[in-house]
A and B are shown apart, each in its own frame.
Chain A
Amino acid sequence: MKTILLLEDLPEIRAWLKTLVMEVFPDGQISEAARVHDALELVSAIKFDLALCDLGLPDGSGVAVVERLRETQSECQSVVVTIHDDDEHLFPALQAGAFGYILKEQPRQLITEQLQRMSQGEPPLSPSIARRVIAYFAAQSKPQQPDLMPHVSLTERESEVLLRVAKGFTLPEIGVQLGLSRHTIADYVKQIYRKLNVSSRAEAALEAQRLGLFRR
């Protein structure tokens, strides 16, 4: 049995998402929330396996929920469900620990497929997100305080995958090019997401330390 959090403010879309999720995970137990506040309450009460979070909500951004889940329930897989396809909106969510994203307007079948793939550990990665990640790690590789900063860097292979994604190659294509299996490529992408989150959290902690704030 899977516990699933569904955070979406539009009732019709929430209902539609619910039926879709129930289709993919027939034995899932779904908790619904329309606001960030409600979602955070649910997070503190229930342990979730999967969270589908909208970004633009009436009382804030779904990124806060993704962040809380990352902090308190590290096993939970957060997926951003949004109509924003641009990296400006998606990247902060990915940094906060989201494992992938789904664009809401896509056909039901496509979303189902993506959800299944993600639940199997195969997150999506668009060229623009890949470019953002490359730029992020390029900036991280020359930190101003290397001693304080737990250095998180990408491996050569991970960078290779990112570069190819950025140039518009699909993951299966990259697998063929690098002589790797589809699953191995997916693992790389997963690893990239994880490292992005770890590095971002370290950066945030450092920033907080620098400002004299302590979170825990």
Chain B
Amino acid sequence: MARNGFNDWQHALALAALLWLGLAAPPVPAQTQTQAFADALTAEDTGTGRFPVDSAQRVVTLPDEWSRTRPQEDTPLWYRLHFDAAGVVSQPALLGLYIDRACANVEIQLNGQPLHAAGRMTDPISLACQRPLLVPLPAALLHERANTIDLRLAGYALQRVASRQRAGSLAAPLIGPYDQLHTRHARDTLLAVALPLAAATLLLLTGLVVLVMARLRPRDTHLRYFGALAIGWALITARLWWHDLPLPNYDSELLLASLLPLIALAAVQFLLHYAGWRSRPIEVALYAQCVAMPVSLLLAGPLRIHMIASTWYVLLVLQVLAAMAFYLWSTQRARRRDFWAIALLLGVAAAAVVLELAAQQRLLASPWQRLPQVLMPLAFMAMGLHLVQQYGRALLTAEESRQALESRVREASAEMEKNYAQMAELRVEQVTQQERKRIAADLHDDLGAKLLTIVHTSESERISTLAREALEEMRLSVRGLTGKPVKLIDALGDWRAEVVGRLSQTGVEGEWHAPSDELPQTLSARAYVQTTRILREAVNNIIKHSGASRCSIRCRIDSGDFQLAIQDNGKGIPLELDGRLDRGHGMASMKHRAKQLHGQCLVESGPGYGTVIRLTIPLERHTTTG
């Protein structure tokens, strides 16, 4: 009649499934000493606080579910178990009574002595369904042979609760060595209480995090719904360990059942929005459903809660499954990268939902009933992580694109600045060029004409000469203003023609030495003009003051410098009192001009020794500048 509680293959399979999920519990070796009660004597409670020996009694098979053995009834029920402690009492070991599941609440007496009583036994009865119960059986209270354990179970009829898990039931109690049962109790507590509790807490946090994300990204509406879904599910799970609600059972059942359409709404909307599809009618229908379900439960009254709620469950589960199917269909068409990951998650979630539904319909063995409780939060958390990851990736992408944009803006503005600067430069260049041309024309037309008139009308030869020189100066200045760079070879040609022409006109024997091959160098207009002036001044000096009969001019290019040496055999430049050369001979202005070109002009002279003027101009500076 007693059977070993560990040989149940289904139990082992369920454990294996949990182990596979990484929730390993320490293996418990089969222990023959532990026995399960297969049946019990029951009697209706009469309020005496003792097993009513005089009332009608009947035998029930354990585990007992009130929905089968006494539907409609929900008064407390006494269970009487007999056991033989022969050979146990003599041992120093402590015995224990273990009840895997007693719904909703139970009180225990051993041989008439109270052993365990916790929580309320009248409406609202404390819901301790999920909590495995282990009580020690003190040796002092045990008899050698006939021992009696009386259990008083308070609970609700199935019709009064929305979920079968909360209907009155009693698992087969186990009796055996306390330490063995303790191990088992610890494991079952972990699986049935601690794990769902931890999962629910994590789920709550996940939901909150996702809600915060949703607040930061209002455009991603699916985040909002997922947050609501996670939190809603966490609340549902919380009922497992929330023993005492300060509400009558009917009200708390109503509240809990009313949460479900909200969760379904969140789930369906999440899936639709995540697939990028929105429908106003569906949204409205879902909200209407949230009102319709509590109303239907209210109208049906406290005795038809289970029937109505079960119908709604099926409906809600179908909606959610349809939404999942829609999501998969539409994302597969869109070929999203995360399609298979999400498909797997949805598969797990769908399996959990279907298992839960099956459990409600008693289609599932009891150990399997715990699977959805673990699977569901896991699926939710994986989904939550996926969303957080997506969010993070979006954030990263946004940051990257912001940086890319910033750098592009920087580049563009730099480009614009550059273009603007170039345009401004060009404009300045144009305006300058125009202005130079205008000044040049004005100089020729006005100043030129007036100087010319002076040249040809002045009675004084000196004034004519001065005006002529001024005109020449003006012409050079204009060329310096408007001129383009001059090729060095061309400049040499011009200078030669001028110098040799003037010297021959005045009867001075001239000698010109200069490179005559093509030269790559050019002179800026300014350098050309200033050098022309220096040369002209030097030749003027020779013609006017030196009394020389011969003059040689040597030009050469040496390591980037243009060198010009003008030598005559005249009487030289007289020294001033301070030992310096006479400034009246234009030496100062020659030197000044050379300096302006970053070059130098050296004059070597002495009375009777002739004069050598050496001009050096760096060419590089004048090769490219206009």
Q: Does B436 contact A (CB under 8 A)?
A: no
Q: Does B433 contact A (CB under 8 A)?
A: no
Residue in B451, B456, B504 with the greatest tally of chain A CB atoms within 10 Å:
B456
A78 to B496, CA, bound (A): 28
Q: Does B501 contact A (CB under 8 A)?
A: yes
A173 to B501, CA, bound (A): 10
Q: Which residues of chain B are within 8 angstroms of A28 by Cβ–Cβ distance?
A: none
Closest to A106 in B: B468
Whether A12 lies near B495 (C-beta < 8 A) is: no
Q: Does B18 contact A (CB under 8 A)?
A: no
- Given A16-B457, A83-B471, A170-B501, also A128-B494 (CB < 8 A): yes
Q: Mark B468-496, 1 if CB is under 8 A from A, else 0.
A: 10011001000100000000011011111
Whether A56 lies near B512 (C-beta < 8 A) is: no
Q: How far is the CB of A178 from chain B (nearest CB, A)?
A: 15
One of B452, B479, B492 near A168 (C-beta < 8 A): B492
Whether B500 lies near A10 (C-beta < 8 A) is: no
Residue in A56, A84, A167 with the greatest tally of chain B CB atoms within 10 Å:
A167
Whether B504 lies near A10 (C-beta < 8 A) is: no
One of B452, B464, B504 near A170 (C-beta < 8 A): B504
Known: A83-B444, A83-B449, A83-B471. 20 other contacts (CB 8 A): A10-B452, A10-B453, A12-B456, A13-B449, A13-B453, A13-B456, A83-B475, A104-B452, A104-B456, A105-B451, A105-B467, A126-B494, A127-B493, A127-B496, A166-B490, A167-B492, A167-B516, A168-B493, A168-B494, A169-B496
Closest to B472 in A: A105
Whether A83 lies near B504 (C-beta < 8 A) is: no
Q: Which residues of chain A are within 8 angstroms of B495 by Cβ–Cβ distance?
A: 168
Q: Does A85 contact B (CB under 8 A)?
A: yes
Interface size for chain B: under 10, 10 to 19, 20 to 34, or 35 or more residues? 20 to 34
Q: How far is the CB of B517 from chain A (nearest CB, A)?
A: 10
Number of A-B contacts (CB under 8 A): 73
Q: Does A86 contact B (CB under 8 A)?
A: yes
Q: Which residues of chain A are within 8 angstroms of B468 by Cβ–Cβ distance?
A: 105-107
Q: Does A194 contact B (CB under 8 A)?
A: no
A16 to B457, CA, bound (A): 8
25 A–B pairs (Cβ distance < 8 Å), ordered by A: A10-B449, A12-B453, A12-B456, A12-B457, A13-B452, A13-B453, A13-B456, A84-B444, A85-B475, A86-B479, A104-B455, A105-B451, A105-B455, A106-B468, A108-B456, A127-B490, A127-B497, A128-B490, A131-B493, A166-B490, A167-B496, A168-B496, A168-B500, A168-B512, A170-B501
Q: Does B445 contact A (CB under 8 A)?
A: yes
The number of residues on chain A lying at the interface, defined by a beta carbon within 8 Å of a beta carbon of chain B, is 25
Task: Kindly identify, within residues 1 to 50 of chain A, every residue whose CB is under 8 Å from any CB belonging to chain B.
Answer: 10, 12-13, 16
A127 to B464, CA, bound (A): 27
Q: Which residues of chain A are within 8 angstroms of B453 by Cβ–Cβ distance?
A: 10, 12-13
Closest 3 CB pairs of A and B: A168-B496, A168-B493, A127-B493
Q: Which residues of chain B are within 8 angstroms of A170 by Cβ–Cβ distance?
A: 497, 500-501, 504
Closest to B451 in A: A105
Q: How far is the CB of B493 from chain A (nearest CB, A)?
A: 4
Task: Kindly identify, within residues 440 to 469 of chain B, every residue whose CB is under 8 Å from any CB belonging to chain A.
Answer: 444-445, 448-449, 451-453, 455-457, 464, 467-468
Q: How far is the CB of A72 from chain B (nearest CB, A)?
A: 29
Q: How far is the CB of B31 from chain A (nearest CB, A)?
A: 115
Q: Which residues of chain A are within 8 angstroms of B516 by Cβ–Cβ distance?
A: 167
Interface residues of chain A, those whose CB is within 8 Å of chain B, are: 10, 12-13, 16, 56, 83-86, 104-108, 126-128, 131, 165-170, 173
A131 to B489, CA, bound (A): 11
Closest to A110 in B: B505
- Given A56-B444, A83-B444, also A166-B493 (CB < 8 A): yes
**Chain B interface mostly:** helix
Whether B444 lies near A131 (C-beta < 8 A) is: no
Q: How far is the CB of A94 from chain B (nearest CB, A)?
A: 17
A110 to B464, CA, bound (A): 14
Q: Which residues of chain B are within 8 angstroms of A131 by Cβ–Cβ distance?
A: 490, 493
Q: Which residues of chain B are within 8 angstroms of A86 by Cβ–Cβ distance?
A: 479
A168 to B502, CA, bound (A): 12
Q: Which residues of chain B are within 8 angstroms of A107 by Cβ–Cβ distance?
A: 464, 468
Closest to A89 in B: B444
- Given A56-B444, A105-B468, A168-B492, also A16-B456 (CB < 8 A): yes
Q: How far is the CB of A126 from chain B (nearest CB, A)?
A: 7
Q: How far is the CB of A206 from chain B (nearest CB, A)?
A: 29
Whether A167 lies near B451 (C-beta < 8 A) is: no
Q: How far is the CB of B518 from chain A (nearest CB, A)?
A: 11
Q: Which residues of chain A are within 8 angstroms of B472 by Cβ–Cβ distance?
A: 105
Closest to B501 in A: A170
Q: Which residues of chain B are within 8 angstroms of A126 by Cβ–Cβ distance?
A: 494, 497
Closest to A168 in B: B496
- Given A86-B479, A105-B455, also A168-B448 (CB < 8 A): no
A13 to B457, CA, bound (A): 8
Closest to B471 in A: A105
Q: How far is the CB of A69 from chain B (nearest CB, A)?
A: 24
Whether B500 lies near A83 (C-beta < 8 A) is: no
A91 to B545, CA, bound (A): 37
Q: How far is the CB of A50 from chain B (nearest CB, A)?
A: 20
Q: Which residues of chain B are within 8 angstroms of A10 by Cβ–Cβ distance?
A: 449, 452-453
Q: How far is the CB of B528 from chain A (nearest CB, A)?
A: 11
Q: Which residues of chain A are within 8 angstroms of B500 by Cβ–Cβ distance?
A: 168-170, 173
Closest to B465 in A: A107
Q: Which residues of chain B are within 8 angstroms of A83 by Cβ–Cβ distance?
A: 444, 448-449, 452, 471, 475
A12 to B501, CA, bound (A): 29
